[in-house]
Amino acid sequence: MQRILFVCTGNTCRSPMAEALFRAKAAGSNFEVRSAGVAAFDGQRASDYALQVLAERGILHDHQSRRLNEQLIQWADLILTMSRGHKDAIHGFYPQAAGKVYTLTEFANADPNRDIADPFGGSLYDYQKCAEEIDHLLDRLYQKLIQAHTRES
């Protein structure tokens, strides 16, 4: 079982969408997925637009935000952030996690200097474009992880 943690700022937009999208994509595979935020307040719902975008894709996600903590850092085998700033924050607060923290774009072999824009406060269209970008990167991520697992077997 490989444990993947998606991280953004408030854990109400990008990382919950990534969590739900990847969970749906990898259903039946050997992955466990969670999300957290570097500045999240525990127990908040995902944003209405994030939930709407997921529902448009046939995914229901009963999300409760959680703040990134030592327990989640230890739980995760791989930590994927939505921005370089999130990655830097994790390195600062949890230097022991350095070997397993990447931006999603970096790990998916896309542009490592590109962040996934935060749709918070934006329109439904902003959330749809964000989800589309994340989903494309998750396709690449899933293929990379499956290939790595096949090579190990």
Query: What one-letter code names the amino acid at 153?
Result: S
Dihedral of CA atoms 143, 98, 74, 25 in degrees, nearest 10, equals -20
Which residues form the catalytic set? Answer: 8, 14, 118
Task: With CA atoms as reference, report the closest residue to 40 among 16, 58, 18, 56.
Answer: 16
115 Cβ partners below 8 Å, 6+ apart?
Answer: 82, 83, 84, 85, 103, 105
* H helix count then E strand count, the chain: 6, 4
3-state percent helix, strand, coil for the chain, nearest multiple of 5: 50, 15, 35
Tell me which amino acid residue 69 is.
Answer: N
Please check whether residue 73 is in contact with residue 79, taking contact to mean a CB–CB distance below 8 angstroms.
yes
